[in-house]
Amino acid sequence: MRRRVATGATVATVLGIAGPLAAQDAFTFTFAPAAGAVVRTLSELRTVTAFTGFPALPDGSTLEEERRIEGRHRAVGEENGMWLVEAVIDTVWSRRRLDQGAWRDVADSVPPKRPAVALVSSQFSVTGFRTANPADGEVFGPVGAMVAGLDFAFPGEPVAAGQSFPTGGRIQLRVRAAPETGVAVDETVFGDLALTLDSIVRQDADELAYLRLGGALAPRTTSQQGEGSNTAGSFSGAFVGRLVWSRRWNAFVSGVARIRVEGRITAETPRGLVAASAVWDATVRHQVRP
């Protein structure tokens, strides 16, 4: 899970170590891959959850979860001004451990080797799918560096260094607590994704756009009634991160983001009223593989 692969724009570059590169003034984001071009990606998600007040866990219990996805996407060709892009998950692996115990492999919801095909615009927005599987969005997750979302789009006009712009995309995190904790939680928290162009640099035959993101997640309240129990929850949080877009690769070649969600859950159970809280702290890392 901890392996890293070096590329033309490494995670160190994402964090601001740019090296002797020439700065530019503006950048036009355009998705224009060569037909048949293949981009291989490695994405990792690590989430640490701290629990308080959950009936089946001691206060202060922590759950660590790690997920690794190796995928690829290929530009099949153009159709009515759109790019036909096929994405495939080659391998997916997840594991977890409770309170620094032994790691345990767990089954993942996205089966490997199942392709999804989408129409992608020159602004890198997914305008439709040729397949209709509920997991298609997850298959395309690595294409958007696991943070962009399917509604993401670059602006059609040039962006100046220092300028911020909305993308229409949403960063999201699914927060969960298994029924074995005493209170089941399964919610998804969203935040609008805007980007700021920090700088544009030239490296060999490539132009790289260094972007940052950050903001609050939209507060979310939920309620659920079930047999013998009523559950209500409130969730809030924030996110921060950096991305690198490559004109040569027509892709996000590197990225890192941190998402933190705080949740308060109240449950009426046969054993009485439960007031619990949890903090989900997630780190997403993404990079293109040679």
- CATH code of 183's domain: 2.30.230
The answer to whether position 8 is within a domain reads no
* Number of compact structural domains in the chain: 1
The answer to whether position 224 is within a domain reads yes
The answer to whether position 18 is within a domain reads no
The answer to whether position 20 is within a domain reads no
Per-residue pLDDT tens digits for 220-268: 999 887 665 688 999 999 999 999 999 999 999 999 999 999 999 999 8
* Angstrom distance (rounded) from CA 209 to CA 243: 8
DSSP letters, 79-114, are: ETTEEEEEEEEEEEEEEEEETT---EEE--SS-TT-
What are the pLDDT tens digits along the chain (290 aa)? 333 333 333 333 333 434 333 445 899 999 999 999 999 999 999 999 999 999 999 999 999 999 999 999 999 989 888 999 999 999 999 999 999 999 999 988 777 888 899 999 999 999 998 877 878 888 999 999 999 988 999 999 999 999 999 999 999 999 999 988 989 899 999 999 999 999 999 888 999 999 999 999 999 999 887 665 688 999 999 999 999 999 999 999 999 999 999 999 999 877 789 999 999 999 999 999 98
Going by their DSSP bridges, the two strands 159-160 and 272-289 should be labelled as unpaired
Closest CA to 9 of 241, 284, 243, 196: 243
Closest CA to 166 of 135, 145, 194: 194
The answer to whether position 16 is within a domain reads no
User: Do 289 and 40 form a contact (C-beta atoms < 8 A)?
Assistant: yes
* Angstrom distance (rounded) from CA 27 to CA 157: 9
The answer to whether position 5 is within a domain reads no
Per-residue pLDDT tens digits for 140-154: 999 999 999 889 999
The answer to whether position 145 is within a domain reads yes
- Cut 0.85: pTM above it: yes
Full domain range(s) for residue 45:
29-289
